[in-house]
């Protein structure tokens, strides 16, 4: 038996927090999840899988774009033509209160709001039972695992599909724990919801396939799906296959130059190194300058105002695009005001929340440019880091402590 496990396609993802993109690059990004889906179908057909599992968050939102819906229908129809069954569910992003409005091809089985089990027979005459459910609303706060039956007698394999995350009753995304999944004696748990591909248990595999296309700078690395193969001893073994050539990446350059470094020197070094290093696909790069790097006063100003980023974007080629440039923070922050880093971290997390920022900014958020800058480009974590950085600068200005001594 061989099947394909994918989740979190987010076909109509908006790719927020990118500035300065060329129209060609925008088009390439917006269509990236759709191309990943098309490659998923290519792979399923080439590998001659027995079935395909799509475990929630096919779309980014409850209401979908026409383009994304059309892409999904085209993909499902291609799999239908290849006689490959598809078992799909909706997740917290694309929850569906009413499944009756969907008209899928005959090869598609959609899991409803209650856990149910579908059974199919592979070409090699193996009997496979597959259990799962769809979100009918944004949150599923009860542990769903009780509703999954134990492995049926008379089937060769049973697979659970579950869009959720480890947690306790009351958490928002179908909270479960690994030990209760194991009590079902399934041969494989195909998980969705967490976008970072990961294995919660190796045998039987309890696995997040991760998403098929990274959506923002926090979702770095190769993205795709798993092809799961049965082995001679009846166990199942997943193997990752990339589906996209557009990856988000973190990169720390090695910069060599007389210090302090000038603005043009930085831009040229970064552009040269990126062009040598990034030669396939498209990397959306978040650049972290080493903490030890000393910048000229003008370079520091340009960095903080985004001018270096803009200049570097002008030199980007089809294989790389700089998303952000930051400088790593130094250890000199640790004793700031005599308070240790952990305390700063905790205070930051409590004080600098999305909501607190929104309340402070108030009517200013009606200005589009501020709204974008405040709420989309900056995650709460980034805000917290920025606040600590500003406090640190202020501390060194007022006390005359010299960073250069370190």
Chain residues that interact with Mn ion, rule: CB under 5 A: 8, 57
Closer to Mn ion by CB, 95 or 321: give it: 95
Closer to Mn ion by CB, 214 or 322: give it: 214
- Shortest reach from residue 130's CB to Mn ion, in Å: 20
Q: Dmax of the chain from CA atoms?
A: 77
Strand pairing report for 86-89 and 51-55 = parallel
Q: At 383, phi and psi to the nearest 5?
A: -60, -45
Nearest CA-CA partner of 344 in 386, 289, 377, 401? 386
Closer to Mn ion by CB, 50 or 57: give it: 57
- Shortest reach from residue 57's CB to Mn ion, in Å: 3
> Under 8 Å CB-to-CB from 350, ≥6 apart: which residues?
none
Closer to Mn ion by CB, 6 or 336: give it: 6
Nearest CA-CA partner of 58 in 106, 96, 85? 96
Q: DSSP letters along 319-386, please? A: TEEEEEEEEPPPGGGTTGGG--HHHHHHHHHHHS-HHHHHHHHGGGGGSHHHHIIIIIS--HHHHHHH
- Shortest reach from residue 73's CB to Mn ion, in Å: 20
CA-CA distances (angstroms) from residue 11 to 59, 93, 121, 189, 323? 5, 11, 30, 23, 21
* CB contact at 8 A, 294 and 260: yes
- Shortest reach from residue 228's CB to Mn ion, in Å: 20
* CB contact at 8 A, 184 and 147: no
- Shortest reach from residue 194's CB to Mn ion, in Å: 8
Distance CA(239)–CA(180), nearest Å, equals: 25
Q: Closest-CB residue for Mn ion?
A: 57
| Placement of tokens 């690395």 in the chain | 221
Closer to Mn ion by CB, 33 or 85: give it: 33
- Shortest reach from residue 10's CB to Mn ion, in Å: 6
CA-CA distances (angstroms) from residue 388 to 54, 94, 307, 376? 42, 37, 22, 20
Closer to Mn ion by CB, 135 or 344: give it: 135
Closer to Mn ion by CB, 8 or 50: give it: 8
- Shortest reach from residue 222's CB to Mn ion, in Å: 17
* CB contact at 8 A, 71 and 11: yes
Closer to Mn ion by CB, 244 or 384: give it: 244
- Shortest reach from residue 7's CB to Mn ion, in Å: 7
């Amino acid at each position: 038996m061989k099947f394909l496990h994918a989740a979190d396609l987010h076909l109509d993802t908006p790719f927020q927090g990118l500035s300065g993109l060329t129209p060609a690059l925008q088009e390439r990004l917006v269509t990236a999840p759709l191309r990943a889906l098309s490659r998923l179908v290519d792979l399923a057909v080439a590998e001659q899988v027995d079935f395909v599992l799509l475990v929630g968050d096919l779309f980014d939102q409850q209401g979908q774009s026409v383009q994304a819906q059309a892409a999904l229908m085209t993909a499902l129809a291609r799999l239908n033509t290849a006689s490959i069954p598809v078992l799909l569910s909706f997740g917290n992003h694309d929850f569906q209160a009413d499944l009756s409005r969907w008209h899928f091809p005959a090869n598609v089985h959609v899991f409803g709001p209650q856990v149910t089990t579908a059974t199919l027979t592979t070409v090699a005459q193996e009997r496979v039972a597959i259990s799962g459910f769809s979100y009918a609303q944004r949150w599923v706060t009860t542990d769903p695992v009780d509703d999954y039956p134990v492995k049926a007698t008379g089937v060769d394999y049973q697979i659970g599909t579950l869009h959720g995350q480890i947690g306790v009753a009351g958490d928002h995304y179908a909270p479960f724990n690994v030990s209760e999944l194991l009590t079902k004696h399934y041969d494989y748990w195909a998980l969705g919801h967490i976008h970072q591909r990961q294995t919660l248990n190796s045998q039987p595999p309890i696995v997040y396939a991760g998403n098929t296309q990274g959506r923002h700078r926090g979702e770095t690395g190769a993205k795709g799906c798993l092809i799961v193969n049965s082995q001679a001893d009846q166990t199942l073994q997943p193997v990752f296959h990339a589906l996209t050539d557009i990856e988000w990446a973190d990169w720390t350059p090695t910069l060599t130059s007389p210090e302090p470094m000038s603005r043009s020197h930085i831009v040229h070094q970064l552009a040269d190194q990126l062009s040598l290093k990034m030669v396939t696909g498209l990397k959306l790069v978040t650049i972290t300058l080493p903490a030890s790097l000393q910048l000229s006063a003008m370079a520091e100003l340009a960095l903080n105002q985004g001018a270096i980023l803009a200049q570097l974007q002008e030199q980007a080629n089809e294989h790389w695009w700089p998303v952000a440039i930051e400088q790593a923070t130094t250890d000199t922050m640790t004793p700031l005001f005599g308070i240790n880093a952990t305390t700063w971290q905790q205070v930051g997390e409590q004080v600098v929340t999305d909501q607190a920022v929104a309340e402070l900014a108030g009517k200013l958020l009606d200005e589009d440019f501020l709204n974008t800058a405040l709420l989309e480009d900056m995650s709460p974590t980034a805000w917290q880091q920025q606040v600590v950085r500003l406090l640190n600068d202020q501390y060194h200005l007022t006390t005359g402590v010299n960073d250069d001594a370190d």
